Amino acid sequence: MVETTLHNPDAISTAEEARAIRLTRARRRSRNNIFRHIFLIICSLIMIYPLLWMVSASLKPDNEIFGTLWLWPSEFQWNNYVEGWDALVVSFSRFYMNSIIITVLSVIGNVISCSFAAYAFARLEFNGRNIWFSLMMMTLMLPYHIVLIPQYLLFLQLGWIDTYLPLVVPKFLATDAFFIFLMVQFFRQLPRELDEAAMMDGCSPFKIYWAIIMPLSIPAMATAAIFSFIWTWQDFLGPLIYLNDVKDYTVPLALRMFLSQDSVSLYGEMFAMSVLSIVPIFLFFVIFQRLIVQGIAMSGLK
**Region 212-241 residues binding other proteins, contact defined as CB under 8 A:** 212, 215-216
Task: Name which position in 146, 196, 244, 296 contacts other proteins (CB under 8 A).
Answer: 196
Q: What is the DSSP letter of 202?
A: T
In terms of CB distance, is 8 or 204 closer to other proteins? 204
DSSP code string of 111-179: HHHHHHHHHHHHH---TTHHHHHHHHHHHTTS-HHHHHHHHHHHHHHHT-TTSSHHHHGGGGGT--HHH
Residue 289 CA to residue 126 CA, distance in Å, equals 34
286 touches other proteins (CB under 8 A): no
Find the DSSP H helices in the chain: 2-7, 9-59, 62-65, 79-85, 92-123, 129-139, 144-158, 165-168, 177-188, 192-200, 205-208, 214-216, 218-233, 237-242, 251-260, 267-299
Piece of 41-49, 150-158, 211-219, 250-258 that binds other proteins (CB under 8 A): 211-219
In terms of CB distance, is 1 or 297 closer to other proteins? 297
Minimum distance between the CB of residue 111 and other proteins, rounded to whole angstroms?
Answer: 18
Number of CB atoms found within 10 A of residue 136's CB: 18
In terms of CB distance, is 162 or 201 closer to other proteins? 201
**Region 94-113 residues binding other proteins, contact defined as CB under 8 A:** none
Count of residues near other proteins by CB under 8 A: 20
Backbone angles phi, psi at 115, to 5 degrees: -75, -30
198 touches other proteins (CB under 8 A): yes
Task: Name which position in 100, 112, 199, 230 contacts other proteins (CB under 8 A).
Answer: 199
Minimum distance between the CB of residue 218 and other proteins, rounded to whole angstroms?
Answer: 9
293 touches other proteins (CB under 8 A): no
Piece of 88-96, 129-137, 196-204, 227-235 that binds other proteins (CB under 8 A): 196-204
Task: Name which position in 75, 193, 245, 262 contacts other proteins (CB under 8 A).
Answer: 193
By residue count, the chain amounts to: 302
299 touches other proteins (CB under 8 A): yes
202 touches other proteins (CB under 8 A): yes
Judged by the rule CB under 8 A, the positions of this chain that interact with other proteins are 191, 193-194, 196-203, 207, 211-212, 215-216, 298-301
